[in-house]
Chain A
Amino acid sequence: MSTIPALFLLDSERLISLSSSDLLIIVLYFAMVLGIGFYLRRFSGTSDDFFMAGRDMSAWVAGLSFLSANLGALELMGWAAAAYQYGILATHFYWIAAFPSMVFLGLVMMPFYYISKTHSVPGYLQLRYGEATRALSGISFAFMTVLMSGINMYAMALVMKVVLGWNIHFSIWVSSLTVAVYVTLGGLYSAIFNEVLQFFLIWLGALTIPVLGLIECGGWTGLVARIHERVQGDYTHLWGPLSSFSGNPMGVHWTGVLFGLGGVIAFGYWTTDFLVVQRAMAAQDLRSAKMAPIIASYFKMLVPLIVILPGLLAIGVLPFKLVPETAMVAGQHSYNEVLPLMLARYCGPGLLGLGVTALIAGFMSGMAGNVSAFATVWTYDIYRPYMNRRGTDRHYVVVGRWCTILGVVASIGTAYLVTHFKSIMDYMQALVSFFIAPLFGTVILGMLWKRGTAKGGFWGLLAGTLSSVGMYTAVVLRPEWLRYVALSPDAKPMAENLYRALWSWMICVFVTILVSLFTTPKPVSELEGLVRAYTVIPSDSDEPLYRRPIFWAVGVCILFVILQIKFW
């Protein structure tokens, strides 16, 4: 089929030219997600349906949606670029930074979220600690979520401009209006349905690259040989190069990866970020809620096949070198273009459309996930407790729909703000880490330590967040202080993020414990279903072994160990 110029392809400089069948595939995707939104509207009449998808999701749907909420195109393209830049070290973000925390969420934390019947993570904090902690957590989460959605939107528009030559305003408005329509209509149902759809599209759209790439290189051994020929340094081992800060391209030490990334950042993200936890909370029963993150962890372990491997393959097969965005000159390509470049290398008409659709689907479901989580937290944790406590159920659904539109409008505003102030994107990554790490300290102490008090929870969370902001600001103002935050003058920004998270979590835990020991705890009757000591967790010993979450958790643990040994 011939390559046709579409009317909206205004920029002639583009990485990929789409054929008519590619465009048809993209148009059909938009038609399908809108159709799903209109179809699901009839099932989203109550707040439980709109915000929690009726708590009717099976373990598989909740699990795939749980993973997909994190598997946005920004993530895929960003980590493929990181794999090109840092080698297989980038895989730590999919293995050590995922499996232990996801399994921990399923086996240890999910029962408290589920049994407490809360609708959100800030909602749990309100039950466990009180209004002040909920307000702090809810407002910061709503703020962060909508900003992240805008940044996601801007990133998508930028990618579409670079890769396809699409006008940036066209991309922003078409994608945001589509998301606004289908989430406003179907609420969390729509978001989850489209996330599961996106899961299939991403896998099927990207799988061509590793398959053909490995054929071209002559298998994994051939790829390793090509990488050694082309670049200096160890790009193919996971733990070996981490014995010193200077011995690897990331500039991190194994302690930072193990405790900062695998410990605090991963546990913070996977167990307390409502964007992903909301999917598991929408499961139809406790067993499904526990299974959802465990199912997701298996697929998360496999994601490097379609993200990290293409980055490594690019080192081995591309006839030119990619460069950092800041060092790009005319005719060169940046690290961030590695995934589209590999798509264009192997995919002809049709398959190319599928790959591009997978990227668009990833961006859009990322936005939808953020917007639906924003609507839930805003309605349940800000509007209802502080603005209108006695509204009807229908009223809250209407508010949720308006919040969705408000969230999309705010996201568009953020997207345009980022267009003018691109450094905001860098600050945003840091802002996310300000809240995630200490929040994990607050939540985990709340669940496992019965002595934790309302004041302890609030001041611990505040101290952890402020200390994280303080460390970040200190290093911005005095870069030489990085040696104190990251424990080495050789540390790079990646290491700073990991250690800053670790310190802020420790400060949060320390302050929470200290303040709690000097303040009055809640009565036992108010802690039932919220704290391990006062919660009866239903036993699943009557279930056959293969239906128990612990069985599958052990399975993913074995898979993890095998992969670490294989790529040590």
Chain B
Amino acid sequence: MIEHPDETSITDSGEIPVQHRHHRMLPVWFFIGVLLLTYGIIILATSLIDLHHPTRVVLAAYHAGVWGGVILTLLGAGYTVRFWPRPRRENENLQGL
């Protein structure tokens, strides 16, 4: 084995062995939550503002924007809260993916 300081060791055959490391990385679900929450708020606000001036789309009376906004907001808020970064114990799986 050839050791390189601060780097993954490389075998004589040139293969880089797989190592499982646990990073203090925010899970992808957190980013999804934040984006969906933001989108939900924007779509809900837009749809509520337009509620009395409906756009010319088919089935506008169903207010799909309002329903979509509510669903995105709830989904996004759920993910954001569930995966909000919190201090964790050292031996806990920190990755959360």
Asked whether, in the complex, the Cβ of B14 is within 8 Å of the Cβ of A345, the reply is no
Asked whether, in the complex, the Cβ of B14 is within 8 Å of the Cβ of A384, the reply is yes
A216–B57 Cα distance when bound, in Å, is: 12
Asked whether, in the complex, the Cβ of B38 is within 8 Å of the Cβ of A28, the reply is yes
Question: Which of A58, A346, A351, A394 contacts B43 (CB under 8 A)?
Answer: A351
Is A284 close to B, CB under 8 A? yes
Asked whether, in the complex, the Cβ of B18 is within 8 Å of the Cβ of A204, the reply is no
A496–B17 Cα distance when bound, in Å, is: 44
Is A56 close to B, CB under 8 A? yes
- With CB as the reference atom, state the residue of chain B lying closest to A396: B16
Complex interface bits, B41-80 against A, C-beta within 8 A gives 1, otherwise 0: 0111111011000110111101011001101100100000
Asked whether, in the complex, the Cβ of B54 is within 8 Å of the Cβ of A348, the reply is yes
- With CB as the reference atom, state the residue of chain B lying closest to A344: B57
Residues of A within 8 A of B71 (CB): 204
Residues of B within 8 A of A215 (CB): 59, 62
Asked whether, in the complex, the Cβ of B36 is within 8 Å of the Cβ of A212, the reply is no
Is A291 close to B, CB under 8 A? no
Asked whether, in the complex, the Cβ of A54 is within 8 Å of the Cβ of B20, the reply is yes
Question: Which of A56, A216, A350 contacts B68 (CB under 8 A)?
Answer: A350
Return A388 CB to nearest CB of chain B, in Å.
Answer: 10
Complex interface bits, A346-384 against B, C-beta within 8 A gives 1, otherwise 0: 111111011000000000000000000000000000001
Residues of A within 8 A of B39 (CB): 25, 28, 354
Residues of B within 8 A of A (CB): 4, 7-8, 10, 14-23, 25-26, 28, 31-32, 34-36, 38-39, 42-47, 49-50, 54-55, 57-60, 62, 64-65, 68-69, 71-72, 75, 95, 97
Question: Lowest 8 CB-CB distances: which A-B pairs, in order?
Answer: A350-B43, A350-B46, A348-B55, A21-B46, A393-B7, A393-B8, A46-B8, A58-B97
15 example contacts (A-B, Cβ-Cβ < 8 A) are as follows A32-B31, A32-B35, A39-B26, A47-B16, A48-B18, A61-B97, A193-B28, A212-B62, A348-B65, A349-B50, A350-B68, A350-B69, A384-B14, A390-B14, A393-B10
Residues of A within 8 A of B (CB): 1, 19, 21, 24-25, 28-29, 32, 36, 39-40, 43, 46-49, 52, 54-58, 61, 117, 119, 192-193, 196-197, 200, 204, 208, 211-212, 215-216, 284, 317, 344-351, 353-354, 384-385, 389-390, 392-394, 396
Q: Other than the known A55-B18, A350-B68, what 11 A-B pairs have Cβ atoms closer than 8 Å? A: A47-B8, A54-B23, A215-B59, A284-B97, A349-B55, A351-B64, A389-B14, A392-B10, A393-B4, A394-B4, A394-B7
